[in-house]
A and B are shown apart, each in its own frame.
Chain A
Amino acid sequence: MNNKRFFQWNGERNGFPPVGEDGRPQIDLDSQRFVKIWHGPNHPGVTGNMALELTISGDEIMKARTHVGYLHRGFEKLYERRTWMQCFPTVVRMCVPEPDSNEYNLSAGIEELAGIEIPEAAQWLRMLALEMSRLQSLLRIMPAQGGATGLGLGVQWGVYLRDLILDRFEELTGGRIYHMYMLPGGVRGLLPEGFRERLEDNLKKVDEFTANIRKLMLDNAIFKKRTAGRGHIPPEWIDRYGVVGPNARAAGFKRDVRIDNPYLRYDELDFEPYTTNESDIYARSYTRWVDIQTTVDLLRQIMAKMPEKGEIRASTPNVLHWKVPAGETYIRSESSRGEYGFYLVSDGSKYPRRINLRGPSYSHGVALLEKMLVNANIADVGAIMVSLATCPPEIER
């Protein structure tokens, strides 16, 4: 008798969005040919919470919808009431795995609007922090692809090495995850004594890791079978769906902001972003694996070319009363997941008019993922999602 109450549908929190307005075929769930399941909002492969609403027939996906909003903190609204300087502690939290891109973009934007040139040593230190941040992010993302297909060991190696890089960050900035190292006008400090040697030790360990993870993951027959040929992104989707970074490079598009529009001193470094044409999950993993090696190489180049001492802060007005001149700009930099942009508008007052973040996940995680999952097997959903390196906090800010 009690069963009746148990099966009653709660209409107020209806999980099924009304379809039909846009002319798409309405899937008749009563026909018993389709099942609707929720993948998420908690998934270990994604940093943050994101739910996928899947309509499946057998084990094939017919329709996928991304649902975000589990991590919305209203940062962009908050910045209307904060001075430019007060934005820094929260701006880093817009993307947890790679916070330094946020710091760099905001400080570079303020400097551009206010017409401040930063000293040479500060530029090199910023590049060092950005590359270290890219390395620790890649060390987490790249083996996670193995984790999504049932190979957990690489993830543990990656987390260990990431911790070593976080130790270096702690030494350099005082913070492990969120550093707030870059400020308008420069950076907060020079390298501590013995930092170069300790970083070099860590980089040697990363070199070992890249050799080992190749044997463990990339040359593994099961991993190859699970990933090669799955989750294909055709080249014509790249611009239509706004694909950037390693995902675009795995499809043969050489898109890298560091090469296209060099910022800081990237034009003085010698590197070539890796591209391939397969554009499946395996190719994206392989691209990230090469990216780790490129980043290690870049860190070594930066350490060799960086000046030992020098000015690290340009003079700025008092940050408590700083009225950034009116204007607008778009600052872009390359994160480990692709182009990362900040659109800043100042109206000449103490507070920003608008700070808008455009992260790579905004199109990867919503429009592209929804399209890619159609006709995929339900066992591949996690692998496809992780291969795009989606970071939900970036979508909802």
Chain B
Amino acid sequence: MEDMTTLIKALRSRFGITDIREQREDLTFLSVPKDRVIPLLTHLRDHEGFSSFILLTAVDWMEEEVFQLTYMLNNPEEKHNLGIRTQISREEPVMESAHHLWEHVATFQRELKEMFGIVFPGSPHLNEEFLLEGWDNLPPMRRDFDTKKYSEETYFPRPGRKTKDPAEHMKEKLYPNEPRPQRASQKGDD
């Protein structure tokens, strides 16, 4: 823990580190500008013993018009995890690729390209389909992609199938004689 504080102090001005938060004894989060991420990852890997890459993921902060990218590193000697956060524009989601540092980063970047539409130029197999086949809609993990609307537009209920509102159904069952307003039409009856 002591080491982490001194390490971050030493790197602070060089990589523009802000927003340092010690989440746990063995986990620290920090934020850096977009263009400092790859230099920082390289430095941490080569000189500070953060040799193990755990994950790369994105969080969609739609209200603030940004994607937050989180790179999680692990130092197997010090047994410490470090989360490096950066923000990229939602309008033009392009980020420098880190596939040359660890081989398996390319998989994460391929998934982010498909699920969030974030482009990592130069990353191997970036434009190949990972999970989805023939997807031509908005990248599905973006928050403005509406799953319900998509399924209503793409799929349709089987004819002859009736759905009932559970509350209504229980009322009918428990109090059959109680008068209730007639509903205009049964939903899903088409």
Contacts and interface: CB of A to CB of B under 8 A. Distances in A.
B24 A329 contact: yes
Contacts of B107: 362-363, 366-367
Highest count of chain A CB atoms <10 Å: which of B53, B81, B83, B104: B104
Q: Give the secondary structure class of A's interface.
A: mixed
A260 B57 contact: no
B29 to A, nearest CB: 7
Interface residues of B, number: 39
Contacts, number: 96
B93 interface: no
B143 A80 contact: yes
Contacts of A81: 147
Interface residues of A, number: 41
B79 interface: yes
Interface string A73-112: 0101110110000000000000000000000000000001
Contact of B104 (A327, A353, A363): A363
A117 to B, nearest CB: 14
B190 interface: no
Interface in B116-139: 124-125, 127-133
A133 B102 CA distance: 31
Nearest to A260: B79
Interface string B43-62: 00000000111110101100
B100 to A, nearest CB: 11
A332 B141 CA distance: 23
Given A77-B147, A112-B24, A345 B102 contact: no
B76 A260 contact: yes
B29 A328 contact: yes
Contacts of B128: 17
Contacts of A362: 104, 107-108
A329 B27 contact: yes
A308 interface: no
Contacts of A329: 23-24, 27
A341 B54 contact: yes
B86 interface: no
Q: Closest 5 A-B residue pairs measured CB to CB?
A: A367-B104, A363-B104, A69-B131, A358-B55, A239-B51
Contacts of A253: 76
Contact of A366 (B24, B55, B79, B104): B104
A368 interface: yes
Contacts of B140: 74, 77
Interface string A157-179: 00000000000000000000000
B57 A242 contact: no
A362 B130 CA distance: 12
Interface string A302-346: 000000000000000000000000011110100000010101010
Interface in A352-388: 353-354, 356, 358, 362-363, 366-368, 371
A76 to B, nearest CB: 7
Contacts of A120: none
A260 B140 CA distance: 36
Nearest to A261: B26
B41 interface: no
A21 interface: yes
A239 B102 contact: yes
Contacts of A327: 23
24 contacts: A69-B131, A69-B132, A77-B140, A77-B141, A81-B147, A239-B53, A240-B103, A241-B103, A242-B53, A261-B79, A328-B29, A328-B83, A329-B24, A329-B27, A330-B54, A330-B81, A356-B55, A358-B55, A358-B57, A362-B108, A366-B107, A367-B103, A371-B103, A396-B131
